[in-house]
């Protein structure tokens, strides 16, 4: 039987994910219900994905085998505790999970209910290697993210380093922009992680560079993200990685974990 998916967030990523799942790219899965604070957006996506609009989160959870959040950090805080432990839960607004108390609550509920929480790698590559590296000692991890200033809500004259700090600080300062730093932090475990954000008026793409050093050797991984064809406002890879996570859940042969 197809995996029944409920989507929270009917924006750029939600639409791209629903389209790919509808085309069979998530394996044996289908969208059964959608939820959004913006009823019009929920209505449009429900129509496109031939699913229903859930009136509230409880209904979405009831209808689904797996709930996929692609809304906002606030949505993870507000609805996460109602989902974890009841159904498998995929989180795209990863920044929310750097709140230790919330993360602890969600994981404990998921464990108790025998369910899982999945965090797709999102718009950044290299997390597979970093995950393996973390089995040994990792001395340092550095993420450099370069974006056009507009996408950071900034105006700068030339290439400018606008932030240096920890992932925890980065997701607070740029809550809608720097989920990748949270994904890197969660993958790196206890290793020290430094984040640098660069606003570059000449940058046409969002670029992420992950560097790590440890017992395994050294890793350098650069991602140059093209915008989604469906939704230029989001990186194509972010939604693709969520669909790949769904495919991994529906598949029997699991490669590259």
Ligand X SMILES: NC(=O)c1ccc[n+]([C@@H]2O[C@H](COP(=O)([O-])OP(=O)(O)OC[C@H]3O[C@@H](n4cnc5c(N)ncnc54)[C@H](O)[C@@H]3O)[C@@H](O)[C@H]2O)c1
Size of the site for ligand X (CB under 6 A): 27
23: buried, middle or exposed (CB in 10 Å: 19+, 13-18, 0-12)?
exposed
Nearest approach in angstroms of CB 185 to ligand X is 12
> In this chain, which of 4, 22, 27, 37 binds ligand X, going by CB under 6 A?
37
> In this chain, which of 3, 10, 138, 193 binds ligand X, going by CB under 6 A?
10
Which of 19, 115, 208, 247 is catalytic? The answer is 208
> In this chain, which of 4, 11, 131, 169 binds ligand X, going by CB under 6 A?
11
Binding mask 72-111 for ligand X (x = CB under 6 A): x-xx--x-------------xxx-----------------
- Would you count residue 68 as binding ligand X (CB under 6 A)? no
> Under 8 Å CB-to-CB from 141, ≥6 apart: which residues?
130, 184, 188, 191, 192, 193, 194, 210, 211, 212
DSSP of 45-106, one letter per residue?
HHHHHT-EEPSSHHHHHHH-SEEEE-S-HHHHHHHHHHHBTTBEEEES-GGGGGSHHHHHHH
Label each residue of 118-142 as H, E or C.
ECCCCCCCCHHHHHHHCCCCEEEEE
Stretch that binds ligand X, among 19-27, 37-45, 100-108, 164-172 (CB under 6 A): 37-45
In whole angstroms, give the CA distance from residue 133 to residue 127.
9
- Would you count residue 251 as binding ligand X (CB under 6 A)? no
In whole angstroms, give the CA distance from residue 151 to residue 148.
6
Task: Considering the complex, state which of residue 146 and residue 234 has its C-beta at the smaller distance from ligand X.
Answer: 234
- Would you count residue 225 as binding ligand X (CB under 6 A)? no
Nearest approach in angstroms of CB 43 to ligand X is 11
In whole angstroms, give the CA distance from residue 223 to residue 28.
29
Q: At what angle do helices 12-22 and 236-250 cross, to 10 degrees?
A: 40
Nearest approach in angstroms of CB 79 to ligand X is 7
> In this chain, which of 34, 97, 198, 238 binds ligand X, going by CB under 6 A?
238
108 noted as active-site residue: no
Task: Considering the complex, state which of residue 6 and residue 122 has its C-beta at the smaller distance from ligand X.
Answer: 122
Looking at the DSSP bridge assignments, the partners of residue 31 are 5
Task: Assign 49 to helix, strand or coil.
Answer: helix
Task: Considering the complex, state which of residue 32 and residue 90 has its C-beta at the smaller distance from ligand X.
Answer: 90
Query: Which residues are marked as active site?
Result: 208
Which residues of the chain form contacts with ligand X (CB under 6 A)?
9-14, 36-38, 41, 70-72, 74-75, 78, 92-94, 122-123, 176, 179-180, 183, 234, 238
């Amino acid at each position: 039987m197809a995996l029944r998916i409920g989507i929270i967030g009917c924006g750029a990523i939600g639409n791209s994910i629903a389209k790919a799942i509808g085309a069979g790219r998530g394996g044996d899965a289908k969208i059964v219900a959608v939820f959004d604070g913006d009823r019009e957006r929920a209505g449009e996506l429900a129509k496109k994905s031939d699913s229903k609009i859930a009136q509230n989160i409880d209904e979405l959870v009831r209808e689904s085998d797996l709930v996929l959040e692609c809304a906002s950090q606030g949505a993870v805080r507000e609805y996460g505790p109602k989902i974890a432990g009841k159904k498998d839960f995929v989180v795209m607004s990863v920044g929310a999970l750097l709140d230790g108390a919330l993360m602890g609550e969600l994981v404990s509920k998921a464990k108790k209910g025998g369910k899982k929480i999945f965090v797709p790698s999102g718009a950044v590559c290299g997390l597979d290697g970093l995950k393996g590296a973390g089995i040994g000692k990792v001395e340092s991890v550095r993420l450099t993210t370069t974006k056009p200033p507009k996408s950071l809500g900034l105006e700068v004259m030339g290439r400018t380093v606008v932030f240096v700090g920890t992932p925890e600080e980065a997701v607070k300062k740029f809550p809608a922009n720097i989920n990748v730093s949270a994904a890197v932090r969660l993958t790196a475990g206890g290793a020290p992680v430094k984040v640098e954000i660069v606003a570059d008026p000449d940058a046409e793409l969002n670029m992420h560079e992950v560097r790590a050093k440890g017992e395994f050797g050294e890793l350098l991984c650069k991602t140059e993200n093209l915008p989604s064809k469906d939704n230029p406002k989001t990186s194509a890879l972010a939604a693709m990685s969520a669909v790949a996570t769904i495919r991994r859940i529906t598949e029997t042969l699991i490669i590259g974990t």
